[in-house]
Structure 1
């Protein structure tokens, strides 16, 4: 009896430690939608321009971030100072990533890889749905990205994409929060990492 209780307690601890915070309190629902879409950077006729602040391991960079869809499945992401000097220039074509330029202070392999993953997650337009969940205020689509998972949170009422959470099997890694006013354009974007000191804050550039 004691042995049985010990095994049961151990199993409970293991299951609790392996649970994913992202799906706590969510209920799985049947689905027929095969793909989920991120609409925010899908219009090739728009230059998406943001005031940007990037903080990475105690270093702060501020300026202008421009995201441009240049072809189907292809985006260019350019970060400059307010005076126009490039800080980085990336291109995404499907699964192909090109580093056109990175300023010396950011040109470290692990930092470039983090930025690559962040912006790939941000501009990726669609992904195959593995499962769907619901909560009181959201409908959540689970997708897979290599050895990780992405969860897309859509508002139940306004149907807009509110958040993307990138996870391992047991832990949240990256959270992207959006605020939206309409027309499929995000007004603000906040990218936060759970396990490293890197944050990105974007605010839609408004002409005076």
Structure 2
């Protein structure tokens, strides 16, 4: 009985451990980072996209445009130019300019809003800094959720949203060239929503 109680207690302690502790991060001096992937107002960031959401699959063109300081517009269209959705982000304000009827569900809109706010956040407020091997990891809080930004050789490679010590959403950036991530993947761990972007 004592062994069973000890085992349960140990399991609870391990499962409740913080994300940095579980992953063997070493604490470092806090330093700020800048996400430059969607920071140039002179560029249109255009991607071929595939969004899998709750059993439906949508393919098309994904466009991000920085319009000003903390101001982005994100649109997703079919390859023929018909709008699937069109969102505006300005500071803390969010506006749905258009969304396809099949996708006009509050839960989906909120999830896409949170994902895209993280995607375009240029200067997340860093609370703690860590290191593991060659990765510098910055802990930030965005909209009351905890995110970890993973940088290798000063390049942002991954962002992870964590809840209760577990990964909830993973953003992967690859084939980085001239402050543009040629490929981006957003994967939700707790339900079926995946977004794959490939630069055009």
1:28 — aligned with what?
Answer: 27
Contact 1:52 1:62 in 2 (8 A): yes
Residue 146 of structure 1: how far off its partner (Å): 3.4
> Would you say 1:183 and 2:181 are equivalent positions?
no
Aligned counterpart, 1:16: 14
Partner of 1:152: 149
1:73 to 70, 73, 81: 70
Structure-2 separation of matches of 1:30 and 1:72 = 28
CA distance in 2, matches of 1:85, 1:91: 18
Q: Does 1:169 align with 2:167?
A: no
* Pairwise CA distance, 1:20: 4.3
1:37 aligns with 2:58: no
Tell me if structure 1 keeps the 8 A contact 2:38–2:120: yes
- The answer to whether structure 1 residue 99 and structure 2 residue 96 are counterparts is yes
Q: Any runs of at least 4 consecutive aligned residues in structure 1 with deviations exceeding 6 A, and if so which?
A: none
| TM-score normalized by the length of structure 2 | 0.93
Name the CA distance, whole Å, in 2 between partners of 1:181 and 1:64: 20
Unaligned runs of 5+ in 2: none
The aligned residue for residue 195 of structure 1 is: 190
Query: Is this contact kept in 2: 1:148–1:169, CA < 8 A?
Result: no
SS at structure 2 position matched to 1:36: coil
Q: How many residues are paired up? A: 199
Instruction: After TM superposition, give the deviation of residue 17 of structure 1 in Å.
Output: 1.1
Mean Cα displacement is larger for which, 129-138 or 186-195?
Answer: 129-138
Partner SS state of residue 124, structure 2:
strand
| Counterpart for residue 120 of structure 2 | 123
Deviations 1:88-119 (Å, cap 9, x if unpaired)? 00000111110000001111111111111111
Shift of 1:13: 2.0
How far apart, in 1, do the equivalents of 2:156 and 2:170 lie? 13
Taking structure 1 as the reference length, the TM-score comes to 0.89
- Structure 1 contact 49–204 (Cα < 8 Å) conserved: yes
Give unmatched runs, 5+ long, in structure 1.
none
Contact 2:118 2:142 in 1 (8 A): no
Q: Measure the CA separation in 1 of the matches of 2:119 and 2:195.
A: 11
Is the contact between residue 164 and residue 177 of structure 1 (CA under 8 Å) also seen in structure 2?
yes
CA RMSD of aligned residues (A): 1.7
Contact 1:166–1:172 (Cα < 8 Å) also in 2: yes
